Amino acid sequence: MPPDWQDLFTAFVADPDGSLYRNLKRRLNPEDEPIVGTGSGLGLSIVKEIVESHDGTVGFAEPPEGWACNLEIRLP
């Protein structure tokens, strides 16, 4: 996993290296582009806070073949 992926758990970080939305826009239908924003960068920080409050862990793991990422949440 790229080291900057851990930055995605920081509040208000939505696209650390600037490639996520650039790559997404290349694959979008033009009519869908207005509904795709850059995000607030709060989602994963909220997920992490909730998971850790239940003594769990959250992080990125090596994705299965054919996938770009794999978010792993473990709860006791």
Is the overall model pTM greater than 0.75, yes or no?
A: no
pLDDT at 37: 63
pLDDT at 9: 85
pLDDT at 38: 62
pLDDT at 55: 98
**Tens digits of per-residue pLDDT, 21-49?**
677 777 788 887 777 666 677 889 999 99
Of 14, 7, 70, 4, the C-alpha closest to 42 is 14
Domain that holds residue 48: 3-74
Report how many domains make up the chain.
Answer: 1
Q: How many CB atoms lie within 10 A of CB 16?
A: 16
Of 72, 2, 75, 6, the C-alpha closest to 45 is 6
| Residue 2 reports pLDDT greater than 70 | no
